[in-house]
Structure 1
Amino acid sequence: MHAPTQDPLQRERDHLAASRSALRAMREDVENLDLKDVTGTWVSAAVLQRQIDERIAALADFAHTPLFFGRLDYLHAISEELAEGGTGEQFYIGRRHVHDASGDPMVIDWRAPVSQPFYRATRTDPMDVERRRRFGYTGGELTAYEDEHLTDPAEADSASALLAAEIEKPRVGPMRDIVATIQPEQDEIVRADIGGTVCVQGAPGTGKTAVGLHRVAYLLYAHREKLARTGTLVIGPNSSFLSYIEQVLPALGELDVAQATVQQLVAHVEVRAEEPAEAARLKGDARMAEVLRRAVRAGITLPTEPCVVVRGSRRWRVPAYELVEIIEELSNREIRYGAAREALPQRIAHAVLLKMEQGGEAPDDRVQDAVARNAAVKAMVKECWPPVDPAKLVHRLLGDAEFLAACADGVLDAEEQAAILWAKPGRSVRTAPWTAADAVLVDEATDLVQRTSSLGHVVLDEAQDLSPMQYRAVGRRCSTGSATVLGDLAQGTTPWATASWQEALRHLGKPDSHVEELTKGFRVPEEVIAYASRLLPAIAPGLAPATSIRDLPDSLTVTHIPDDLACAVVEACRKALTHEGSTGLIAADARIPLYAAALAEAGLPHLSPGAETSADARLTLVPASLAKGLEYDYVVLDEPAAVIAGEPDERTGLRRLYVALTRAVSGLHVLHTEPLPDQLQR
């Protein structure tokens, strides 16, 4: 690493200052656009103004965010097209494109083709790069640089100190982008083609969530016009998780990416209740799709009387057998219930028009539309193909034992039907509140009636916890688009957690998707991940243990506390806060009130998961059920036995513990009074 007083560093600082000035000029050019003489309607003017506002926001310069983080010196000239209009052999790589007044690039977007060697080039395959330079920053100021001469045989391979420093930066505030530290195996996933769905099985600390978010940013860059029409969506496990990741895409200049939980996607009814795990598991079973399909179509009946349409002085009669043929043909086509219902009056009207033509008349399309609106036709449609309200249908299905038995015949046995019925002792059907699993059933029924709109790309994180019916709900949102599926089978903590990615992808509607496995960790220290991996044979025997590039001695402490565990945990938090960065106290959900009171009494302010940490508030009290996906520099883990006991079975409890053990970036302190699980006592 070069000393910060050398002239080359000053030249890089000068380029940074010039780039910031250029970015400011780009923003001012947009701000100064005059829309007074723009022709068109007020709607088009409003749309244009919105686009300008978004462009201004995308050109924001954040003082503490490096404008560029690397430089590539090519051996040979790069084509003008590849270099986004630039000429020459030296390119600065950053979070967004910046050009000077002449249009020549001063910073190249990390997603541009010319930037790819920054992540992929090696000594064995330098990709025509002579030198790769990384920059170090402190508080937004460029303080150091580090060079790799990829074509110099005399220079030995060595680990990048700046890369390691960037990875190990303290975690204060929401999740950061990893644009400066993307590794080759991660970059391959980020830049995978939009045409296919990618599934990433990632061990803790391998950066799978960040990879998924950067993939969205890359796809928006490479396919902006297409995705601007079809839209993108990031789906996370809970609101705390979404709050934690929400700043990553804006930091990369992408502002139009929606975020939601699965529950928010299916919010057709108000969820106000919980139910036994077995009932929720059954409602999430893929077999419920067939039960609902039968329920939606249960009201279809075949007519026994003709349909008689009066037009002026003439009467036109469509016999019952023709009506039966029309209804059976529509039913056998398996098109959406609502679409078939809309087509039925037109089909009946067409049959009437044929009879009119046979009678010597010459009706046109306007006559057919009028016949389709005829009272007799409308009455026939209402009787034979009645309208369906999805919520009312599911309410009837779960509240009417006879209706459920008819729809579930041969699909669910009597015991399973009884488990999902609302009508139980002390609970009337009329007042039964909706549960989360019920809402997913309503979403399925809604799609059976009317097709759900599809997006261009969906990122599904923590996917291992979804039920088959939830996968179907997500799959409907990308039925004509692609998806990035992220998760870790070892972290599945729901009773319906998926057993394999092949099964999950089949329910998602993407059975031919490619599965990538990330096992090299960049976040969790080796000592910590090795300790947590002792649980893998019990919770996910088919997965390979993760490794870590970060070897931090003494990053793991396990302490047995004979008595007054709460006091020892609070003191461990106080000690962790003497280090720079964030601290998370993870405890079983039932023990959270205990520690909320203990921390308050000790004068240690704490935050809730998802709240943004700051210099004055760096301690977060985390229920074990919400720890998934979060990370802290230092983690204090209270009583593993209580974490396990808080789950319905031991395997799920061990998986929950595995999640809690793998949230630390720099240090993990486990404190316990009760015995540790056998796997951790080896």
Structure 2
Amino acid sequence: MSASTPVDEPVGFSDPAGDGPLARERSHLAASRSALRAMREDVEALDITDVTANWVNAAALHHQIEERVKALADLSGTPLFFGRLDYLHAPGAEGAEGAEGERFYIGRRHVHDADGDPMVIDWRAPVSQPFYRASRKEPLDIALRRRFGYTGGDLTAYEDERLCDPSEAATTSRLLQREIERPRVGPMRDIVATIQPEQDEIVRAGLSGSVCVQGGPGTGKTAVGLHRVAYLLYAHRERLARTGTLVVGPNRSFLHYIEQVLPALGELTVAQATVDDLVAHVEVRGTDGATAAVIKGDARMAQVLRRALYSHVTMPTEPVTVVRGSRRWRVPAYELEELVQQLLDRDIRYGAARDALPQRVAHAVLVRMERAGEAPDDRVQDAVARNAAVKAAVKAVWPAVDPAKLVLRLLGDPEFLAAHAEGLLDEREQREILWAKPARSVKSAAWSAADTVLIDEATDLIRRTHSLGHVVLDEAQDLSPMQYRAVGRRCTTGSATVLGDLAQGTTPWATRSWEEALLHLGKQEAVVEELTAGFRVPADVIRYASRLLPHIAPGLAPVASIRENPGHFEVRGSRGTDDVLSACRELLGNEGSVGLIAADSRVPELAEALTAAGITYVAPGEETTRATRLTLVPASLAKGLEYDYVLLHEPGEIVDAEPDERTGLRRLYVTLTRAVSGLTITHTTDLPPQLT
């Protein structure tokens, strides 16, 4: 084959004799599938009857075996390998005399034969890296890179690049383009076969450092974050097995959309959650106005909470007298005050300090015992720490505080709030966040989403939040400073991958700069990377949407689409719902998924019309099928989702639904950039002037 043979030409693919390159590659695929099946059967046949000491160990080992069997599943329609590398020399022996090149098939997981020899190499292995990084300028000792094309799970094509052959001109990979543009139905799929060099650098960045990825629509930032998790689990399996990994997304619909990516890569242990899930200490039954939500989400609230919490600590005015047998041991008030002040100066968690205080008082008693000639040991100190007089003194000086009750009082008691917000929040801001009607109890309170973040902050001030080994935070531009703090304390001893686009911030508290966001997250040292090459959104669509950038994020570079296919793009004047239904039917005539996106208030009307017209549809988060390929999407839930074809109805309404024009234009930018193959806009009223 030439350096890049078009997929739709028979050269290199027709093999009537059954002994050509394509037949040999199919044979290797069949042998690899048999080897994977044998690996799975070996695990299923394991007998653990005599290797476990008790039922707990047996249950744990049985669970591990089940997870391993799942990880070795041969997923239908998912190619076992997608590429091949032919090295000039044995890896690690470049330039060595007599070193013989080796051939490796690159796939989603490692597969070996009965003798342990590799049939497929995991894409995350070091030997696989040149598949993503090698070029004619830097061939990385690769003689040939072969890409494979599949149709319905069957290997039907291949395409070669001879990177060390100067006689062959560089060409664009047709298979790569087709894989990027392939119609999609159902949840998000992995991009392991199409990762680009700049994406691979981020994916393979070390575990010890945090990374922030600024990426416009279609640059693959979400996929990069998920593949980074998969890579880190491969490279640091034991460490992350102990510390845990977490993917944080903007909403449940988004998490459902991405939930199959990691399992397809053989990773089944990564937890997924929204920020609301992380801080779900109480039931959310209320809402805040935009102004109140912005103030509650401000980082100043952390200091208000800290002041309110430590206001419960009071200096002792009475001594503590401990009675043991016939002796009485007295610790004067001034010495107790010194102990309390020492703990305050150490700046440890409120609860940890409260736990330490009885032991410090007991130690002061033991010092007196030793001076009197006694020889107390640790058991005596523990007994003194549990003494009723000591416990009473600690309760009075350093009382236990419930975090939800603390926030309840702060938001319901004007005087308490004023005392601890002085110099931080002005009177207007204090009035904004105070409840109009104070709640009587934690259970009866109409907590808002922002309130739960405050409770989480208070909880961490009292007891340290458990830290994970790595956290991926997607659509981060929409988080408030307090939400960043909530995520950050879950990776204080680990690292983070932050993904987002400043141009897509649609909350009143949207991130203004990544430097500020990383400061609140506690990851100031994170490296900020920018992805500007667009793989998903067609060129005509992204050019049209980029008209909004000067109005919503003037400092950001527009995404440059690398798609050869410009995509379908059309703006239609509409006479009403009938035209929308007609456009839906038209788009459903194409292959792939269709998203009908409209302002949230317009969705009920469109749902009724679709039902009456007999057009079946699903809501975001529900899985599309080949029979039901239409999703009706409220504009507020469109972020992070993608469809082959998007029908965007009434852009002006999407802008007008937001509290201000800038936020509305950002919401519109999000909805305009959900299309993979084509975008159709219908409108009865004038388009926003920024688009015309």
Instruction: Find the counterpart in structure 1 of residue 142 from structure 2.
Output: 129
Instruction: Find the counterpart in structure 2 of residue 297 from structure 1.
Output: 310
Matched, 1:384 2:397: yes
Q: TM-score, normalised by structure 1?
A: 0.97
Q: What is the CA–CA distance in structure 1 between the aligned matches of 2:119 and 2:316, rounded to whole Å?
A: 73
Paired residue type of 1:492: G
Find 1:569's aligned residue among 561, 580, 590.
580
Q: What is the CA–CA distance in structure 1 between the aligned matches of 2:122 and 2:222, rounded to whole Å?
A: 21
Question: SS of the residue aligned with 1:485?
Answer: strand
Paired residue type of 2:511: T
**CA displacement, residues 221-253 of structure 1 (integer Å, 9 cap, x when unaligned):** 000000000000000000000000000000000
Instruction: Find the counterpart in structure 2 of residue 149 from structure 1.
Output: 162
Find 1:659's aligned residue among 637, 662, 670.
670
Q: TM-score, normalised by structure 2?
A: 0.96
Instruction: Find the counterpart in structure 1 of residue 13 from structure 2.
Output: 4
* Number of equivalent positions: 673
Question: SS of the residue aligned with 1:323?
Answer: helix
**Pairwise CA distance, 1:554:** 5.7
1:78–1:87: 8 Å Cα contact kept in structure 2? no
Find 2:524's aligned residue among 511, 526, 531.
511
Cα-Cα RMSD: 1.3
Instruction: Find the counterpart in structure 2 of residue 433 from structure 1.
Output: 446
Instruction: Find the counterpart in structure 2 of residue 240 from structure 1.
Output: 253
**Pairwise CA distance, 1:264:** 0.2
Paired residue type of 1:4: F
Question: SS of the residue aligned with 1:600?
Answer: helix
1:631–1:663: 8 Å Cα contact kept in structure 2? yes
Matched, 1:63 2:76: yes
Question: SS of the residue aligned with 2:686?
Answer: coil
Question: SS of the residue aligned with 1:271?
Answer: coil
Instruction: Find the counterpart in structure 2 of residue 637 from structure 1.
Output: 648
Instruction: Find the counterpart in structure 2 of residue 627 from structure 1.
Output: 638
**Pairwise CA distance, 1:47:** 1.1
**Pairwise CA distance, 1:204:** 0.1
**Pairwise CA distance, 1:87:** 8.9
Matched, 1:104 2:107: no
**Pairwise CA distance, 1:423:** 2.9
Matched, 1:31 2:44: yes
Matched, 1:463 2:463: no
1:172–1:581: 8 Å Cα contact kept in structure 2? yes
Q: What is the CA–CA distance in structure 1 between the aligned matches of 2:13 and 2:140, rounded to whole Å?
A: 29
2:12–2:21: 8 Å Cα contact kept in structure 1? no
1:242–1:259: 8 Å Cα contact kept in structure 2? yes
* Alpha-carbon spacing, 1:429–1:42, altered in 2? closer, same or farther (3 Å): closer
**Pairwise CA distance, 1:63:** 2.4
Find 2:182's aligned residue among 169, 189, 196.
169
1:422–1:429: 8 Å Cα contact kept in structure 2? no
Instruction: Find the counterpart in structure 2 of residue 646 from structure 1.
Output: 657
Matched, 1:605 2:637: no
Find 2:604's aligned residue among 589, 593, 597.
593
Paired residue type of 2:155: L
Matched, 1:362 2:375: yes
Q: What is the CA–CA distance in structure 2 between the aligned matches of 1:432 and 1:476, rounded to whole Å?
A: 26
Question: SS of the residue aligned with 2:465?
Answer: coil
Find 2:334's aligned residue among 318, 321, 331.
321
Instruction: Find the counterpart in structure 2 of residue 616 from structure 1.
Output: 627
2:144–2:160: 8 Å Cα contact kept in structure 1? yes
Instruction: Find the counterpart in structure 2 of residue 674 from structure 1.
Output: 685
- Uncovered stretches (5+) of structure 2, i.e. residues with no partner: 6-10, 94-98
**Pairwise CA distance, 1:42:** 1.5
Q: What is the CA–CA distance in structure 2 between the aligned matches of 1:303 and 1:442, rounded to whole Å?
A: 28
Question: SS of the residue aligned with 2:423?
Answer: coil
Paired residue type of 1:50: H
Paired residue type of 1:573: C
**CA displacement, residues 517-570 of structure 1 (integer Å, 9 cap, x when unaligned):** 001000000100010000001100110011101143462101122x32x21111
Q: What is the CA–CA distance in structure 2 between the aligned matches of 1:169 and 1:553, rounded to whole Å?
A: 14
- Find runs of 4+ consecutive structure 1 residues off by over 6 angstroms: none
1:641–1:675: 8 Å Cα contact kept in structure 2? yes
Q: What is the CA–CA distance in structure 1 between the aligned matches of 2:316 and 2:171, rounded to whole Å?
A: 80
Question: SS of the residue aligned with 2:615?
Answer: coil
Find 1:47's aligned residue among 56, 60, 72.
60
Find 2:467's aligned residue among 449, 454, 458.
454
2:539–2:567: 8 Å Cα contact kept in structure 1? no
Question: SS of the residue aligned with 1:272?
Answer: coil
Q: What is the CA–CA distance in structure 1 between the aligned matches of 2:331 and 2:231, rounded to whole Å?
A: 58
Matched, 1:397 2:410: yes
1:423–1:429: 8 Å Cα contact kept in structure 2? no
Instruction: Find the counterpart in structure 2 of residue 253 from structure 1.
Output: 266
Find 1:228's aligned residue among 229, 241, 250.
241
**Pairwise CA distance, 1:3:** 3.8
Paired residue type of 1:616: A
**Pairwise CA distance, 1:428:** 5.5
Q: What is the CA–CA distance in structure 1 between the aligned matches of 2:101 and 2:550, rounded to whole Å?
A: 54
Instruction: Find the counterpart in structure 2 of residue 83 from structure 1.
Output: none
Instruction: Find the counterpart in structure 1 of residue 199 from structure 2.
Output: 186
Paired residue type of 1:620: T
Q: What is the CA–CA distance in structure 2 between the aligned matches of 1:452 and 1:263, rounded to whole Å?
A: 16
Find 1:580's aligned residue among 577, 591, 613.
591
Find 2:515's aligned residue among 492, 502, 518.
502
Question: SS of the residue aligned with 1:273?
Answer: coil
Question: SS of the residue aligned with 1:253?
Answer: coil
Q: What is the CA–CA distance in structure 2 between the aligned matches of 1:602 and 1:158, rounded to whole Å?
A: 47
Q: What is the CA–CA distance in structure 1 between the aligned matches of 2:320 and 2:26, rounded to whole Å?
A: 83
Instruction: Find the counterpart in structure 1 of residue 540 from structure 2.
Output: 527
Question: SS of the residue aligned with 2:424?
Answer: coil
* Alpha-carbon spacing, 1:554–1:212, altered in 2? closer, same or farther (3 Å): closer
